Structure 1
Amino acid sequence: MRYLKWTVLVTLALLVFSFLHYTLPQTDIVRIVGTENRRMDLGENSWFWASPDVGTAPSNSRDIFFINAVYPDGSTMEYRNEDTGWGWPPYFKMDSSSLNTSAKELQSTADAPKWVAVTHYGWRNQLFTIFPNAISLRLVDGPEARIIPWVNIVILSFLAFVLFMAWRMWAQFKERMIEPAVIEAQETLDDLDRRADRAKAGIGGWFNRLFGRK
């Protein structure tokens, strides 16, 4: 049971971590090298993509904006640029067209780089054709610019507080309700055992007297 308990707890922790890592905003400092509008036919991985742009009809085949970027070390990254609308995650993004225009304006070359902080959520996975969704763009002084994730700090601090309060409520409930009930049940069982022992001893004594045993 101990191994089963820890397996369940570790699995639950991994699921929560993956959910938060995918959903919470992250910021990359990159150089934008291009944008494109690509026709995509969404299949099994469609739940990793946002809903169609606000005001358009739902479809598994649609045009999607992309932002192509390069990290300071030369590695590449591609971001999708989709509205999230009123759905999940709750970024309420409805300006993908405007963001695409901003991305075009922020394009630069290696000789005259413009470093841009791209805030996004999601993962990049080439095997399953998954792209992070860009939420906002802003110019920064350089590739070493320091970005403090205030939103993540506030959200994670709030979740930690909620978990702490839930743990305290459970500890108090266990102390006031469960432990006394367990102790009472154990005392009842012990009392029943003592009564059974006395009854057994009484029956044994009766048989001994009946058959003249000493």
Structure 2
Amino acid sequence: MFSVVNYVFPHYDVTRVTGVEVKRVDKDGPITKSNPADGPTRDVYYINTQNDEGKIMVYRNEDTRWGFPFYFKFGSANLQAEAQAMGNENKLVQIKYYGWRLTMFDEFRNAVSVKEISDDVTPSHPILSWVFYAFLLVTLFLSIQFIRGWFDSEN
């Protein structure tokens, strides 16, 4: 359950956009010579970033539409243009995203929004995730106590 909360709920990174690109993909991933299209295809936008410590991260920028997780994101092309404009001006940005970056499986975090942030502004924190983690910990503790009560009462 903790992994579901970590994957679905938003997180924030403060970074700089270094480039953007678009790739044509199908169910097997990007279409290449070794992976020809074998079904419906779609365009997926990517945002390349590098933070001030030098860490590089690539974000997928794809619409969630009406599907799960429910971010109701429809403007990937607009978000891509915003990211590119901020990258051209080398602005510090805060990227709101969900998901994980799993290099081995070519899985990317999905960017939900990109906004300019100044050096003196404190970045956002995933407070809702922290609330759910606390709720899950309390639920786990109460469940363990409940189960222990079953075994203690059988003696």
Category of TM-score, reference length = shorter chain: 0.7 to 0.9
AA matched with 1:21: N
AA matched with 1:133: N
Secondary structure class of the residue paired with 2:68: coil
Select which of 1, 23, 27 maps to 1:42.
27
Correspondence for 2:88: 108
Structure whose CA Rg is larger: 1
List per-residue Cα deviations over 1:54-101 (Å, max 9, x = no partner).
xxxxx6521111112111122322111111223222323222222222
Given that residues 31 and 108 in structure 1 are in contact (C-alpha distance below 8 angstroms), is that contact kept between their aligned partners in structure 2? no
Correspondence for 2:35: none
TM value normalised by structure 1: 0.57
Is the strand fraction higher in 1 or 2? 2
Given that residues 72 and 143 in structure 1 are in contact (C-alpha distance below 8 angstroms), is that contact kept between their aligned partners in structure 2? no
Q: What 5-or-longer segments of structure 1 have no aligned partner?
A: 1-15, 46-58, 184-214
TM value normalised by structure 2: 0.75
Select which of 61, 68, 71 maps to 1:81.
61
1:62 is aligned to 2:47 = no
List per-residue Cα deviations over 1:116-137 (Å, max 9, x = no partner).
0101112223332221100111
Is the helix fraction higher in 1 or 2? 1
Given that residues 45 and 61 in structure 2 are in contact (C-alpha distance below 8 angstroms), is that contact kept between their aligned partners in structure 1? yes
The count of corresponding residues between Structure 1 and Structure 2 is 147
Select which of 71, 80, 97 maps to 2:51.
71
- Give the distance between the partners of 2:96 and 2:10, measured in 1 at CA: 6
- Give the distance between the partners of 2:116 and 2:51, measured in 1 at CA: 14
- Give the distance between the partners of 2:129 and 2:135, measured in 1 at CA: 10
TM-align CA RMSD = 2.8
Secondary structure class of the residue paired with 2:7: helix
1:121 is aligned to 2:98 = yes
Correspondence for 2:33: none
Given that residues 30 and 143 in structure 1 are in contact (C-alpha distance below 8 angstroms), is that contact kept between their aligned partners in structure 2? no
Select which of 152, 157, 168 maps to 2:129.
152
Secondary structure class of the residue paired with 1:106: helix
Given that residues 46 and 59 in structure 2 are in contact (C-alpha distance below 8 angstroms), is that contact kept between their aligned partners in structure 1? yes
Cα 1:41–1:143 change in 2 (3 A) is farther
Cα 1:148–1:40 change in 2 (3 A) is same
Select which of 74, 84, 106 maps to 1:94.
74
1:32 is aligned to 2:41 = no
- Give the distance between the partners of 2:101 and 2:152, measured in 1 at CA: 49
Secondary structure class of the residue paired with 1:37: strand
